[in-house]
Amino acid sequence: MDAIAETYNLSKHFGNFKALDSLNIRLEPGEVFSLLGPNGAGKSTAIKLLTTLLQPSSGDAMIAGISIVKHPFRVRRLIGYVPQMLSADSTLTGYENLLLFARLYDLPAREAKQRAQESLKFMNMEEAAHKSVKTYSGGMIRRLEIAQSMLHRPRVLFLDEPTTGLDPIGVTTVWQHISELRKEFGTTILLTTHIMEEADRLSDHVAFLSRGKLAAMGTPAALKASLHRSDPVSMEDVFIHYTRESAESARSFREIATERRTGSRLG
């Protein structure tokens, strides 16, 4: 089967600093692929390269057979992107936000209205459609942002820490909709997360980055088995093993993960 997205020694250097060093990953059509690693490992750089927000220092990547280096504008038509930072306009309603995004993708007015309504229904947001986004919970805002990114039916959807700051109910709801997007539209999803349970539960394949380099890649089950331990192995154990984090760093990581699972950054 041909890959829907694939990188070829994809690299980004800032002066002498190698933020991403010869990344080679492959995403199959319709899969969920998690890109994991500690802060500064190169995850955000990889996302920005693949979404054409940064230009590679060397190497290339193909999205549905189209080069991010040679044809970035064509690539943008094929992808959706939900960044960590808020992308919805709080002064507008949910429906108005969707129509605004539809215009950015040059969807005809009638089609834009239809897709906006369909997206709101799909994300279970019909009752909140005409309410101001400033009244939304964090989980509702994230669902709206995912709906925005799906209006033009992207082949690949990039989600940068999609459940950061959400309460447990919001996290579960976003997980459910990620699974439904793949089932309903065959969308390939690449996500970054600091929540190892999220990666374990959602992902077909996981890649660990450490200091800009690919440290390990495989299915969650295969990666856990690769530690060759007789006791139960978690994805946090795999994270620590392959990113070479110290015990002290690992505790800090777990604390951050817990805070992000229960926090309320989005309000």
Neighbours of 213 (CB within 10 A): 15
Say how far apart CA 57 and CA 261 lie, in whole Å.
35
- What tens digit of pLDDT does each residue of 95-109 get? 999 999 898 888 898
Enter the DSSP assignment of 98: H
Residue 253 has pLDDT above 60, yes or no: no
pTM score, whole prediction = 0.84
Mean pLDDT of 40-60: 95
Q: What's the pLDDT score for residue 260?
A: 53
Closest CA to 66 of 2, 146, 19, 158: 2
Task: Flag the least confident range among 65-79, 201-215, 238-252.
Answer: 238-252
Q: Where are the beta strands (DSSP E) in the chain?
A: 5-14, 17-23, 26-27, 32-36, 58-63, 66-67, 79-82, 156-160, 188-192, 205-210, 213-218
